[in-house]
Structure 1
Amino acid sequence: MYALYSDHYVIDLPPHHTFPIQKYRLIREQLVAEGTLSPEELLEPTLVAPQDVRLVHTADYWERLISGTLNPSAVRRMGLPWSEALVRRTRASVQGTLTAARIAIRERIAVNLAGGTHHAFPDRGEGYCVLNDVAIAIRCLQRDAWMQRMAILDCDVHQGNGSAAIFAAEPDVFTFSIHGANNYPLNKVPGSLDIPLPDGTGDDAYLAALEQAVPKILTEFRPGLVFYIAGADPHEGDRLGRLRLTHQGLRRRDEFVLRACRDAGIPVAVTLGGGYGQDIRDTVEAHCGTIRAARAVFDSSPSSHP
Structure 2
Amino acid sequence: MQLVEAPAVTDTQILYAHDPSYLIKILSGELSAQEQQEIGFPWSEKMVERSRRSAGATLAAAKAAFNDGLAANLAGGTHHAYRDRGSGFCVLNDSAITAKALQKEIHQKLKIAIVDLDVHQGNGTAAILQNDRSIFTLSMHGENNFPFTKEQSDLDIGLPNGCEDEDYLKALNEGLDILDNFKPDFIIYLAGADPHEGDRLGKLSISKAGMRQRDECVFQYGADRQIPIAFSMAGGYGKEICTTVDIHLQTIQTALQFTVAS
TM-score, length-scaled by structure 1: 0.83
Query: What is aligned with 1:205?
Result: 167
Distance 2:5 2:106 in 1: 24
Residues 272 and 287 in structure 1, CA contact (< 8 A), matched pair in contact too: yes
Q: Give the counterpart of 2:226 among 249, 253, 265.
A: 265
CA contact (8 A) 2:212 2:251 kept: yes
Of the three residues 73, 77, 88, the one matched with 2:49 is 88
* 2:132 equivalent to 1:167: no
Residues 1:246 and 2:244 aligned together:
no
Distance in 2 (alpha carbons) for counterparts of 1:104 and 1:247: 26
Q: How does 1:37-56 map to 2 (within 5 A)?
A: 41-56=2-17
Q: How does 1:1-306 map to 2 (within 5 A)?
A: 1=1, 41-146=2-107, 148-217=110-179, 219-299=180-260
Q: Which amino acid aligns with 1:214?
A: L
Query: What is the CA deviation profile of residues 82-131 of structure 1, one whole-angstrom value per residue up to 9, with x for unaligned ones?
Result: 21111111101111000100010121111110111111001000001110
Secondary structure of 2:203's match? Answer: coil
Instruction: Provide the C-alpha distance between the structure 1 equivalents of 2:259 and 2:153, rounded to a whole number of angstroms.
Output: 28
SS at match of 1:152: strand
Q: Is the 8 A contact 1:215 1:260 kept in 2?
A: no
Segments of 5+ residues of structure 2 without an aligned counterpart are none
- Following superposition, the deviation at residue 63 of structure 1 comes to 1.0
In structure 1, how many angstroms separate the alpha carbons of the residues matched to 2:218 and 2:124? Answer: 22
Structure-2 separation of matches of 1:280 and 1:52 = 33
RMSD: 1.2
Cα offset, 1:145, TM superposition: 3.4
Which SS does the other structure have where 2:222 is aligned? helix
Distance in 2 (CA, whole Å) between partners of 1:55 and 1:188 is 23
> How many correspondences in the alignment?
261
Gap regions ≥5 residues in structure 1: 2-40, 302-306
* Residue deviations 1:34-89 (CA, integer Å, cap 9, x gap): xxxxxxx0011221111110111111111111111100110010012221111111
1:261 is displaced (CA, Å) by 1.1
Q: Cα deviations across residues 136-188 of structure 1 (Å, max 9, x unaligned)?
A: 01111111233621000100000000111111111110000110000000111
Identical-pair percentage: 45
CA displacement 1:233-263 (0-9 Å, x = unmatched): 0011111100011111100100111111111
User: Which residue number in structure 2 is paired with residue 6 of structure 1?
Assistant: none
The separation in 1 between residues aligned to 2:188 and 2:213, in whole angstroms, is 18
Amino acid at match of 1:110: A
Q: TM-score, normalised by structure 2?
A: 0.97
What secondary structure, in the 3-state scheme, does the structure 1 residue paired with 2:7 have?
coil
What is the aligned partner in structure 2 of residue 38 from structure 1?
none
Q: Distance in 2 between matches of 1:241 and 1:94?
A: 24
Give the ranges of 4+ consecutive aligned residues of structure 1 lying more than 3 Å apart after TM superposition. none
CA distance in 1, matches of 2:182, 2:215: 20
CA distance in 1, matches of 2:59, 2:116: 17
Amino acid in the other structure paired with 2:5: E
Distance 1:199 1:250 in 2: 16
Provide Cα deviations, 1:181-226, integer angstroms capped at 9, x if missing partner.
0000011101000100000001111011111111331x31111100
Inter-partner Cα distance in structure 2 for 1:150 and 1:142: 9
CA distance in 2, matches of 1:297, 1:140: 26
